[in-house]
Chain A
Amino acid sequence: MDRVVTVVPEDGLHARPAAEFVETAGEYDADVQVGPVDGDPVDAASMLAVTSLGVASGDDVELVAEGEDAEAALDALEEVLSTPEAESAT
């Protein structure tokens, strides 16, 4: 299953939001990929791969998840991407 999400945090998919995103992606029993909409996706659980995307605040990304927890993973990742940094729970 897949989902398109707009990246809200000011840093884009970098620094703390990226770390949270990558950590969250690794927590579920699902294979999750992230990439530009209709572009080449990369492993969402790899910090290097996620950094390579160069996603800025306001960009849309496409999340694709396969596996038992795919939906829960997408829900959690959407929340990370939709939370402005100041309010993120760290």
Chain B
Amino acid sequence: MNMDEPSIDAVLSPELITLEEPPAEKDACIEFMLDRAVEAGRVSDRETALEALFEREAETTTGVGKGIGIPHAKTDAVSRPTIVFARSSEGVDFDAMDGEPATLLFMLLVPAEGGEEHLELLSSLSRALMHDEVREDLHEAESKAAIEETITEAVA
């Protein structure tokens, strides 16, 4: 493994994981998740980050199917890579190609000058989420610690 690759521990922390039900509407859900990162002190400029996230969604949805939404953006509003996790019991309509509403939500924010970091995080997370048991564990986890452990192990 490349030593420069961001380790998952550095990007995910308990204050970035929420067990609260996010809003069922996509834009509101994205704002809700962004606010977790803002509250954790990860975002210097909320509006800039939000604009970058919405711009990316406007290009094409980040609903990748199998009930997963990965809204993401490269933005100077963060100084280090950040992942926010939320879980929706109702499901959020991300307009995914397979028509499934998103129930597992990951927001990725990466500094603008981050280069390939962005793609590496996105691909390792997606690779982990292709496994049925990882998705099941995330649905069933009862604590932030259990979610953190599942994601960390799956991405490692």
A47 within 8 A of B: yes
Q: Mark B61-74 against chain A: 1 for CB-CB distance below 8 A, else 0.
A: 10111101010000
Contacts of B127 in A (CB 8 A): 52
Question: Which residues of chain B (34-88) have a CB below 8 Å from chain A?
Answer: 56, 59-61, 63-66, 68, 70
* Chain A residues with CB below 8 A from B96, complex form: 47
Taking a contact as CB atoms under 8 Å apart, the answer to whether B116 and A16 are in contact is no
- Determine which of A16, A23, A47, A52 lies in contact with B123 in the assembled complex, contact meaning CB atoms within 8 Å: A52
Closest to A46 in B: B65
Q: Is A19 engaged at the interface, CB distance under 8 Å to the other chain?
A: yes
Contacts of A18 in B (CB 8 A): 60
CB pair B130 A52 closer than 8 Å: yes
Which residues of A are found within 8 Å of B68, using beta-carbon distances? Answer: 48
Number of contacting residues on A, CB 8 A? Answer: 19
* Interface residues of B, count at CB 8 A: 23
What's the least CB distance linking B8 to chain A, in Å? 15
| In contact, B59 and A15 (Cβ under 8 angstroms) | yes
Docked pose: A26 CA to B97 CA in angstroms: 10
Q: Is A35 an interface residue (CB 8 A)?
A: no
Q: Which of B97, B124, B129 contacts A23 (CB 8 A)?
A: B97
A67 CA to B122 CA in the complex, in Å? 31
| B-chain residues with CB within 8 Å of residue A14 when the two chains form the complex | 119, 122
Pairwise interchain contact B119-A47, C-beta atoms closer than 8 A: no
What residues of A have a CB within 8 angstroms of the CB of B130 in the complex?
Answer: 42, 48-49, 52
3 closest A-B pairs (Cβ-Cβ)? Answer: A54-B123, A52-B126, A52-B127
A-B contact pairs, 17 of them (CB 8 A): A14-B119, A15-B56, A19-B60, A46-B65, A47-B98, A48-B64, A48-B68, A48-B126, A48-B129, A51-B123, A51-B126, A52-B123, A52-B127, A54-B119, A54-B123, A54-B124, A56-B116
